[in-house]
Amino acid sequence: KAGVTQTPRYLIKTRGQQVTLSCSPISGHRSVSWYQQTPGQGLQFLFEYFSETQRNKGNFPGRFSGRQFSNSRSEMNVSTLELGDSALYLCASSLGAGAKGPTNEKLFFGSGTQLSVL
Amino acid sequence: GESVGLHLPTLSVQEGDNSIINCAYSNSASDYFIWYKQESGKGPQFIIDIRSNMDKRQGQRVTVLLNKTVKHLSLQIAATQPGDSAVYFCAENIRHAGGTSYGKLTFGQGTILTVHP
């Protein structure tokens, strides 16, 4: 079974630009979550999507947005990039609601997209 | 201003030794805990999980202990190998009505494990 796939692997942008990152979850997983990882703040939750709906959101500005498609694939967008947005952006998938028990909560992560803002 | 990086705890062991990595969690309402391993250039990899109604769970070479009284979690790795060198994170979550945490895990700062041959 293929794991979580994120593209691109690396990205370099300049301040003020926008960027779109893509995530394909594990087959059968309906929930996709996004996290930001930086040396200063560690791993922080951005948002979660299930059935094309955002169900949960972390404490990030509105410049960070996302969406999920009917095949559960997800994209996140960051507009008006700032230097502080440089980070590893991780996508994780899980079964999502409806399946109770540990397997419902277990998040499987992709390798991430390393974004550098110059 | 300049951001200050997290100073991660480090643990250095010899190959073959047992390793114990500790984690203090913050929310007494958390009912599910996971340990992840992250190698350089990769995303976090699931190691083992435990529910709050348990105090111990064993996997292959790994054991997780949960002490809810003091909100403490530990990961024990038996016969540590050089391939175990990585950053280890504990994560906690709270399940809401409907049985889901809506994808949100709260991660600890991580511990760097270095295994010397």
Cα radius of gyration rounded to whole Å, chain A: 14
- Closest by CA position to B72, among listed B80, B63, B64: B64
Contact list, A112 vs chain B (CB under 8 Å): 42-43
The pLDDT tens digits for B45-58 are 999 999 999 999 99
Report the pLDDT value the prediction gives residue B2, as an integer from 0 to 100. Answer: 40
Distance (Å, rounded) from C-alpha A20 to C-alpha B56?
A: 42
Question: How deeply is A40 buried, as exposed, middle or buried, from its count of CB atoms within 10 A (0-12, 13-18, 19+)?
Answer: exposed
Q: Does A84 touch chain B (CB under 8 A)?
A: yes
Provide the number of CB pairs (under 8 Å) joining chain A to chain B: 88
| DSSP one-letter code for B76 | E
pLDDT band at B98 (very low <50, low <70, confident <90, very high): low
Contact list, B95 vs chain A (CB under 8 Å): 105
Whether the CA torsion A48, A85, B46, B22 is positive or negative: it is negative
Taking a C-beta distance cutoff of 8 angstroms, is the pair B3, A84 a contact? yes
> Which of A33, A42, A102 shows the shortest C-beta gap to B109?
A42
